[in-house]
Amino acid sequence: MNSTALLLLLTNKGEEFETVFVNHGGDYPETYEYVNYLRALGYTITEITPFHSGCTTIEDYILKYNFFPTSRTRWCTLQFKVNVLYNYFEKPCADMIAFSIDESKRCKNYKRPEGITVKYPLIEKGITRAGCIDIIKAHDIKVPTRSACWMCPFMAKKEVRRLFLENYPLYEKRKNLEKHCMKKQREPFYISRTEKSVTDMAMEDIPSIENYL
């Protein structure tokens, strides 16, 4: 959503820039559909594929190395997105990140490769997340759903429940990936911050069918 708003703002200003989308295989189908929707409207979006330790997707890496990203070891964003972008960029350049002013606390001073400066145009203009929606609607473009990864260890219980109800095949994929990794561990470990499996999170507070009989 924020990225779309930034794309529109930069286009309106006539700035020279490149929109880059990293396809790590972990986004929801709606995100891929929206990228193609913007392309159909005439917006150019470069798609790049990661390659980390012989793997092109997060899912492949999990299966190969039996290592699921957790709330304590969040390697996925760095290895399958950030580093991929940094290797792709032609330096010197400015990396324009679409954080809204509501997310200003996310602007951490991470060390970046030489030749890359970071800018936050939405924050500089004082644009909120709600403001991003207004910008998109003003261009008569449909507002995208919030982009996220279906394997994210930071998913809240309601998000896991929604995954179970609205995209059961991905829910099953995530559940099987967790089981695959847990079989390889010497000690029990938990992927989510709640220290519960995805199945427990999806079914928590759901009455047993026996209650209805």
Instruction: Kindly report, residue by residue over 138-188, the tens digit of the pLDDT.
Output: 999 999 998 889 988 888 888 888 899 999 999 999 989 888 887 766 555
Pick from 87, 103, 138: which residue ends a domain? 138
Instruction: Compute the average pLDDT of residues 88-105.
Output: 94
- pLDDT (0 to 100) of residue 181: 83
Helix, strand, coil tally for the chain in percent (to 5): 45, 10, 45
Asked if 161 and 107 sit in the same domain, the reply is no
Asked if 35 and 70 sit in the same domain, the reply is yes
Give the dihedral sign, CA 205/208/211/213.
positive
Asked if 90 and 29 sit in the same domain, the reply is yes
Pick from 83, 107, 138: which residue ends a domain? 138
- 130 against 199, higher pLDDT: 130
CA dist., res. 154 & res. 196, Å (int)? 12
- pLDDT (0 to 100) of residue 213: 46
Of 66, 69, 46, which Cα lies nearest the Cα of 179?
A: 66
Say which amino acid occupies 151: M
Could you give the number of structural domains in the chain? Answer: 2
- pLDDT (0 to 100) of residue 186: 55
Question: With pLDDT > 70 as the criterion, what percentage of the chain qualifies?
Answer: 90
Sequence-distant (≥ 6) Cβ neighbours of residue 196 within 8 angstroms:
190, 204
pLDDT tens column, 73-93? 789 999 999 999 999 999 999
- 10 against 186, higher pLDDT: 10
Asked if 55 and 126 sit in the same domain, the reply is yes
Asked if 164 and 116 sit in the same domain, the reply is no
- Is residue 38 domain-resident? yes
pLDDT of residue 194 exceeding 70, the answer is: no
Give the dihedral sign, CA 30/28/78/54.
negative
- Is residue 151 domain-resident? no
Asked if 130 and 48 sit in the same domain, the reply is yes
Model confidence, pTM: 0.88
- Is residue 33 domain-resident? yes
Asked if 110 and 191 sit in the same domain, the reply is no
Average pLDDT score, the chain: 88
- pLDDT (0 to 100) of residue 98: 95
Pick from 138, 173, 194: which residue ends a domain? 138
Sequence-distant (≥ 6) Cβ neighbours of residue 109 within 8 angstroms:
none
Domain that holds residue 26: 2-138
CA dist., res. 178 & res. 197, Å (int)? 8
Residue with tokens 């580093």: 83
Which CATH number fits the domain that encloses residue 17? 3.40.50.620
- Is residue 62 domain-resident? yes
